[in-house]
Structure 1
Amino acid sequence: MSDGVTLTAQPSLFAGPRANPDGFWAAIMLAFLTTAGLFYVNIMPAIVSGLVDGMGASPDRAGYVGAANMYGSAVGALAAVFAASRLPWRKAAFVALVLLVGIDGISALQTSVTPLIAIRACHGLVGGFLIGVGFTVIARTASPDRSFGMLLVVQYGLGGLGLRFLPGLVQTGGTAVLFEALTAFSLVTLVMLPFLAPYPPRPKAIEGEAAAPGVPKLPAFLALLAVFLFQGGNMAVMAYVIELGRAKGLELGWISNALSEANWIAILGAVAVYAVGARFGRMKPLMIGLAVTLVGMGLFYRSDVAAFFYAANVVTGLTWAFLIPYLLGQCAAFDTHGQMAALSGFFSKMGLASGPMIAALVVGGSAHYEPILHLAIVALVLCAVAAFLPARLLDRAAASRQGTES
């Protein structure tokens, strides 16, 4: 899986020990490298809530900041897909991380939401490109699946820590705490960078190998649309989940603890992907998982009951971690050249950006969050409709291949 950036191996000036390129510690460092570009997504509820509390921003304005960050990321990822020049990946990652540190530092100095919208859009541009670098390097490992699995573990694990502690810290330290946390993450990643192996490009395909068949346009588009709808529906709720709980009378400290625990439990969803794999095809896991997600979304309507709010976050967290690998893998399965995988990343980021943006427009300056739940459920139902055809087509093709081989 690659975001399409053509990157060259580049030894660093650091002459110390390097991690085994396909070992455990390398997988962790590569997970940090990729997560540094999008860690704000994992703590988005804390950012939205922190802007409301720390800057006195209205809920819709706070949502616009998060959406600007993610729209910038989508543009940065798209730029990475179509990057024409050959870049030394280590230098590209170093420059991107330094820029992220600087932008987060500038963000921490702001006292108004208005300039933050533009500043965070710039952060997204750089972060989106860094994600492309990270995905490309991960694709050069012997087992990319393991590295992507570690990526999910790092995102959910550290995202849980952020959601547990950051909302409370904003109460005492102000909004700057949010961006200082992001700065710290990028600095830690910079320290790890020299210990990564060079990761040269893998050999090209054998000359004369038959070209891959054309990508079927309608199923491929529906697969991409399913990714967009799934990410948009989930992120619309996630961005405002803290405010939803508070509006229903739940206490901030309890909400933070609940969200962090739900993030850690969600790691099991990613583990389940490897346990189930393609054993039951794609359609059954997708349809069952989306049905369970709808149940989780329904539980949010009773967020005035703490147990329901907790269960809603656990269920939707588990299914999010379980379903997104299937949805992205479904896109990649239509194209052996990697363009669909890259486009699925772009559609994913557009969904992550559009969810909070549409939610912000719906909420306005009010504190009524049920309309967001209505929209999220509609998006997930449409996602199931869109995913059905490509999943059935791929399952039939897989069954046909198995029948031919036997």
Structure 2
Amino acid sequence: MVMPPETEKRTQPGQLELIAAILMGGLGITQVVAMPLLATLIASAFQIEGADSGLIGLANLLGTAFGSLLVTVWLHRLPLRRTAIVSALFAFAAQIAVPFITDFTGIILLEALAGIGAGVLIALSAAIVGASANPDRGFAFILTLQAGVAVLVLLVIPFLAEAYSLLEVMVFLASTQALLIPVGLTMRHGPIAEKALKTSEASGSRFQMTLLLRAASYFVFSAAVGVLWVFSGILGSMAEIADAQLGQALAFGNVAAIAGSLLAAMITSRFGRLAPILAVCLTLALSALLFTADMALMQFYIASSLFLFAWGGGLPLLMGSVAAADSTDRVTSLLPVLAFAGMGVGPALVGLAPGASGLFQQVSYTTIGLVVLAFCLLVSAHTGPNSKKYIG
């Protein structure tokens, strides 16, 4: 990886701190991946129906985004150890309190608070890994852990909900946040050191444009995978595939996501980023074309596995690209917010796909269009005057 010549060498995290950051990023996402099931359980327990049940997940996601934004603003002032421990305690206490609250408004507030704690942990994780010698590898390990956590959560929560009650479900989720309390003890006492810039006005402007283009590529790619994440199950149902089989296929696809993330961790030092990201984009586009109205179960398995493989492999590569060009780590710490925002924006664009007839074509056209745009933005970040200085 070639560091931008305009910046002083960054203070890299130690090995133990880097492992702790990967654990924070991997486990901190637990409540987000659990939300499709958790929101339903909480709404059922409080006899909430209709659109109001969506407020649970919305509150948690907004809280997560807000927590990440707090880190972005005060990154170089936050004492890492204290912030990590307090945030983990915050997320743990908020989730464990949910079964004991009788007011639905209180539940919404608690989920927002839990999201804030998780958002801080996720953003700190991104900033620390982004400052490491090989951020692509660190991000790949985070995505691998997140995919493993998603599989575990999707299997355990239905079992606990059926055999026990909401209390046991919340204890299970809160325990993952509790694990991060001792992890926080491995953080340094002080904040991430801010790096001084040594740039001319022209090169500084070019450097900022490169960073923005890379961040925009990451956002658009997140929007593309968000389209398939939201609509893959719906398209499977429209193709008359049973719900149980859809769930099994998506769980199997998360194993493919783990494989994609591990592969990304292995290849960046050998092949750079542009060629692997092009391969990821082509894979994602192919998966979108495989979601068809007449697809059988095996075709759905292949389509969802390719899609999740591309997701698991593409995100760490793009995150590493941003980190390589980020001289302050602030934009890197904002990556979780960009991912959540992108995954929300992408599905909203499906109805705007030009020339598409029916949902299957709308999903395919939207996904492919976003993938092409994401790669073009990344290529733009590697071209122009003095572009060799910024290749990473």
Please give the TM-score of this superposition, normalised by the length of structure 1: 0.72
Q: Give, in whole Å, the separation in 2 of the partners of 1:216 and 1:204.
A: 17
Q: Give, in whole Å, the separation in 2 of the partners of 1:64 and 1:208.
A: 43
Of the three residues 380, 385, 390, the one matched with 2:373 is: 385
Q: Give, in whole Å, the separation in 1 of the partners of 2:76 and 2:326.
A: 23
Give, as a single letter, the amino acid of the residue that structure 1 aligns with 2:242: L
Q: What's the counterpart of residue 6 of structure 2?
A: none
Conserved 8 A contact 1:40-1:182: yes
Of the three residues 317, 330, 339, the one matched with 1:348 is: 339
Conserved 8 A contact 1:76-1:129: yes
Instruction: Tell me whether 1:290 sits opposite 2:290 in the alignment.
Output: no
Instruction: Tell me whether 1:250 sits opposite 2:250 in the alignment.
Output: no
Q: What's the counterpart of residue 30 of structure 2?
A: 39
Of the three residues 382, 386, 390, the one matched with 1:394 is: 382
Q: Give, in whole Å, the separation in 1 of the partners of 2:273 and 2:385.
A: 11
Instruction: Tell me whether 1:148 sits opposite 2:136 in the alignment.
Output: no
Cα deviation 1:1-32 (Å, max 9, x = unaligned): xxxxxxxxxxxxxxxxxxx9515xx6554322
Q: Give, in whole Å, the separation in 2 of the partners of 1:234 and 1:175.
A: 31
- CA change 1:386–1:249 in 2 (3 A) is closer
- CA change 1:112–1:272 in 2 (3 A) is farther
Return 5+ residue gaps in structure 1 as ranges.
1-19, 363-369
- CA change 1:126–1:149 in 2 (3 A) is same
Q: Give, in whole Å, the separation in 2 of the partners of 1:197 and 1:218.
A: 32
Of the three residues 162, 172, 175, the one matched with 1:171 is: 162
Give the deviation of 1:225 after TM superposition.
3.3
Q: What's the counterpart of residue 215 of structure 2?
A: 224
Conserved 8 A contact 1:282-1:395: no
Of the three residues 181, 198, 201, the one matched with 2:188 is: 198
Q: Give, in whole Å, the separation in 2 of the partners of 1:380 and 1:178.
A: 38
The CA RMSD over aligned residues, in Å, is 4.2
Query: Which 10-residue stretch deviates more, 332-341 or 159-168?
Result: 332-341
Query: 1:39-58 to 2 correspondence within 5 Å?
Result: 39-47=30-38, 50=41
Conserved 8 A contact 1:220-1:390: no
Give, as a single letter, the amino acid of the residue that structure 2 aligns with 1:382: L
Give, as a single letter, the amino acid of the residue that structure 2 aligns with 1:260: A
Q: What's the counterpart of residue 133 of structure 1?
A: 124
Of the three residues 244, 255, 267, the one matched with 2:258 is: 267
Conserved 8 A contact 2:87-2:121: yes
Question: For 1:337, what is the secondary structure of its paired residue?
Answer: coil
Conserved 8 A contact 1:140-1:199: no
Instruction: Tell me whether 1:324 sits opposite 2:312 in the alignment.
Output: no
Conserved 8 A contact 1:63-1:239: no
Query: 1:177-196 to 2 correspondence within 5 Å?
Result: 177-194=168-185, 196=186
Q: Give, in whole Å, the separation in 1 of the partners of 2:297 and 2:82.
A: 48
Q: What's the counterpart of residue 15 of structure 2?
A: 22
- CA change 1:73–1:257 in 2 (3 A) is same
Cα deviation 1:115-156 (Å, max 9, x = unaligned): 644443332222212223333444566655544333222211
Of the three residues 315, 326, 331, the one matched with 2:306 is: 315
Query: Which 10-residue stretch deviates more, 344-353 or 47-56?
Result: 47-56
Conserved 8 A contact 1:45-1:238: no
Give, as a single letter, the amino acid of the residue that structure 2 aligns with 1:381: G
Give, as a single letter, the amino acid of the residue that structure 2 aligns with 1:182: L
Matched pairs, number: 370
Question: For 1:277, what is the secondary structure of its paired residue?
Answer: helix
Q: Give, in whole Å, the separation in 2 of the partners of 1:110 and 1:310.
A: 41
Give the deviation of 1:73 after TM superposition.
1.6
Conserved 8 A contact 2:136-2:264: no
Q: Give, in whole Å, the separation in 1 of the partners of 2:302 and 2:101.
A: 36
Conserved 8 A contact 1:77-1:131: yes
- CA change 1:204–1:87 in 2 (3 A) is closer
Q: Give, in whole Å, the separation in 2 of the partners of 1:237 and 1:249.
A: 16
Conserved 8 A contact 1:292-1:319: yes
Q: Give, in whole Å, the separation in 2 of the partners of 1:346 and 1:183.
A: 22
Conserved 8 A contact 2:220-2:371: yes
Q: What's the counterpart of residue 8 of structure 1?
A: none
- CA change 1:373–1:163 in 2 (3 A) is farther
Q: Give, in whole Å, the separation in 2 of the partners of 1:349 and 1:152.
A: 14
Q: Give, in whole Å, the separation in 2 of the partners of 1:324 and 1:51.
A: 31
Give the deviation of 1:330 after TM superposition.
3.5
Instruction: Tell me whether 1:81 sits opposite 2:72 in the alignment.
Output: yes
Q: Give, in whole Å, the separation in 2 of the partners of 1:263 and 1:233.
A: 17
Cα deviation 1:84-138 (Å, max 9, x = unaligned): 7733221211111111112112334468877644443332222212223333444
- CA change 1:202–1:60 in 2 (3 A) is closer
Conserved 8 A contact 1:45-1:163: no
Give the deviation of 1:170 after TM superposition.
2.9
Question: For 2:205, what is the secondary structure of its paired residue?
Answer: coil
- CA change 1:145–1:326 in 2 (3 A) is closer
Q: Give, in whole Å, the separation in 1 of the partners of 2:362 and 2:253.
A: 22
Give the deviation of 1:157 after TM superposition.
1.6
Q: What's the counterpart of residue 93 of structure 2?
A: 102
Give, as a single letter, the amino acid of the residue that structure 2 aligns with 1:154: L
Give the deviation of 1:381 after TM superposition.
1.4
Query: Which 10-residue stretch deviates more, 277-286 or 98-107?
Result: 277-286
Q: Give, in whole Å, the separation in 2 of the partners of 1:314 and 1:257.
A: 11
Question: For 1:179, what is the secondary structure of its paired residue?
Answer: helix
